[in-house]
Structure 1
Amino acid sequence: MERLIFLGTGDAMGVPRVYCDCAVCAEARQGGINRRYRSSVSVEGADGGFLIDCGPDWRSAMEGRGQRFAGDILVTHAHFDHIGGLPEWADACRWLGQRGRLYAPSEVLDTITAQFPWLERNLELHAVDGGALLAGWEIRGWKVNHGKNGYSYAYRLEKSGFAWGYCPDSIALPLEQRRPLAGLDLLVLGTSFYHEQAEFSTRSVYDVKEALELLKELTPKRTVFTHMSHDIDLRRDYGLPAGVEYADTGKTVPLGNC
């Protein structure tokens, strides 16, 4: 069965925040449901699998599920919470005598190699500007608005008549960036806060209230929110509409029309 597994569901700082004593961080600190590694997912199925993003919690997420190696990783953008685990992955490749395969748009690869120039000793770098085929999934990426943090990439993945999208870091998407996310069987969308109070010019990710408005246009069959800050408490009932839910660590979602 094709499936998506959430390895991490947190925003750039993760949960708990080291400085914070709020109720969500306190619960997370005790190993509760709100404990969140930086956002990453594993795509698995009969044709193999791959990860999307490799943040600084990559090792902990891998150890938590007993996975000792990843051969293929697709990256959305070159911010630390999405690439901070690449040196550890490359080191694992070195010690295991295997070459991992890193996939990302050319400009993202350029930023990564400028920051970690030694990665190419143990990783093959593959640009996905014209699309990619991983584990049987046809993948198309495009640049999306990441607010004050610049840009990220979203991905649309299709296989055997099933289409899903992964867009963890975006806000206020213009029409041309929204179009590829329309009519999906599954949308994974980043929402850091339920209702963020910060000045809009300082923000970088949709909040839940904004995302729910966006879903009225995009009409995915199912939506899972990820990339959550300590503002989201999974013990609460937020009254989300049917077909919309929050991710938690280890959550498994089928990627197919059952």
Structure 2
Amino acid sequence: MKVLFLGTGTSTGVPQIGCNCDVCTSDDSRDKRLRSSVRIEVDGKVLIIDCTPDFRQQMMGMPFGKINGMLLTHEHYDHVGGIDDLRPFSIFGSVKLYMEEHLENVIRERLPYCFNPKKYGGVPDIEIKRINEYDSFDIEGLKITPIRVMHYKLPIMGFRIKDFAYLTDVKSIPESEYSKLTGLNTLVISALRKTEHISHQSLSEALNISKRIAAKRTYFSHMSHEMGLHGKIEKELPQNTYFAYDGLKIDVF
């Protein structure tokens, strides 16, 4: 499995518009963060988790080919705002979007033209595949395990693919879900900043959860400029935990 971090920033991205802090004015490329998403190559298939407003930019320079499945975590715009940019990928057939029922309702309301019986030219060809938090599902023979996490009161869907798990916008994880996260090689989990936030984990909270899950290695993503300079904060992390950054490629065995 090969995982590419397409974006590792929070909803505003980094640099944040109008901000002149040390992070937003940094010349370290690791401090430039698009909205959070990953591209996964596994068993000859390409999966993408979340379709951000930066999707078009994130796809530039990527191999152009079929997306076998797009997994969507929740309805916030920084996670679904790029769906219209799936248009070019429609030449390979319908792009299958895997999501919960409440998210399907939101997507149909926001993008009604994608679901008209008579579509005009250029509309993205997408097909919604409904999933739930209880049942694993497969994409062309590849098993995906859904993981329920909570973004304060909003339910979010995380995903486990083999021994890799991706959890974003986490504030808490229901006790029942930890059994799905045993024996991981690699965990990706959100950590917004060092100070507490009502709906996102702080770094210390993310470290505590990652310690409990005990993956062989953990990468933190979905970070704001308030986390600090990558070059400094990475030195503060315990062994086998890392800050992800845009363009980072990792292998999962």
Alignment-mate amino acid for residue 81 of structure 2: G
Partner of 1:19: 18
Q: Does 1:144 align with 2:139?
A: no
Does the 8 Å CA contact 2:149/2:170 hold for their aligned counterparts?
yes
Deviations 1:122-164 (A, max 9, x none): 111111223322365311213321015x221111222xxxx12
Does the 8 Å CA contact 1:49/1:135 hold for their aligned counterparts?
no
Match of 2:78 among 40, 62, 81: 81
Number of equivalent positions:
240
103-112 or 33-42: bigger deviation: 103-112
41-50 or 219-228: bigger deviation: 41-50
User: SS of 2:38's equivalent?
Assistant: strand
CA distance in 1 between counterparts of 2:92 and 2:209 reads 45
CA distance in 2 between counterparts of 1:206 and 1:38 reads 17
Q: Write the mapping of 1:1-258 to structure 2, written as runs, cut at 5 A.
A: 2-27=1-26, 30=27, 32-63=29-60, 65-71=61-67, 72-89=69-86, 91-93=87-89, 96=91, 98-120=93-115, 122-129=125-132, 130-134=135-139, 136-147=141-152, 150-158=154-162, 163-193=163-193, 195-198=194-197, 203-232=198-227, 233-236=229-232, 237-256=234-253
CA distance in 1 between counterparts of 2:92 and 2:218 reads 39
TM-score after normalising by structure 1: 0.85
CA distance in 1 between counterparts of 2:250 and 2:138 reads 21
Aligned-CA RMSD value: 2.0
CA distance in 2 between counterparts of 1:134 and 1:224 reads 25
Gap change, CA 1:21 and 1:135, over 3 Å in 2: farther
Gap change, CA 1:100 and 1:154, over 3 Å in 2: same
CA distance in 2 between counterparts of 1:234 and 1:182 reads 29
Alignment-mate amino acid for residue 8 of structure 1: G
- Which sections of structure 1, spanning at least 5 residues, go unmatched? none
CA distance in 2 between counterparts of 1:56 and 1:88 reads 9
**Percent identity over the alignment?**
29
User: SS of 1:214's equivalent?
Assistant: helix
Deviations 1:212-235 (A, max 9, x none): 112222111110111011123211
Does the 8 Å CA contact 2:148/2:174 hold for their aligned counterparts?
no
CA distance in 2 between counterparts of 1:248 and 1:181 reads 23
Does the 8 Å CA contact 2:66/2:92 hold for their aligned counterparts?
no
| Poorly superposed stretches of 4+, deviation over 6 Å | none
CA distance in 2 between counterparts of 1:132 and 1:143 reads 14
Does the 8 Å CA contact 2:189/2:221 hold for their aligned counterparts?
yes
CA distance in 2 between counterparts of 1:151 and 1:46 reads 29
Alignment-mate amino acid for residue 92 of structure 1: P
CA distance in 2 between counterparts of 1:44 and 1:132 reads 18
Shift of 1:249: 1.1
Does the 8 Å CA contact 2:95/2:127 hold for their aligned counterparts?
yes
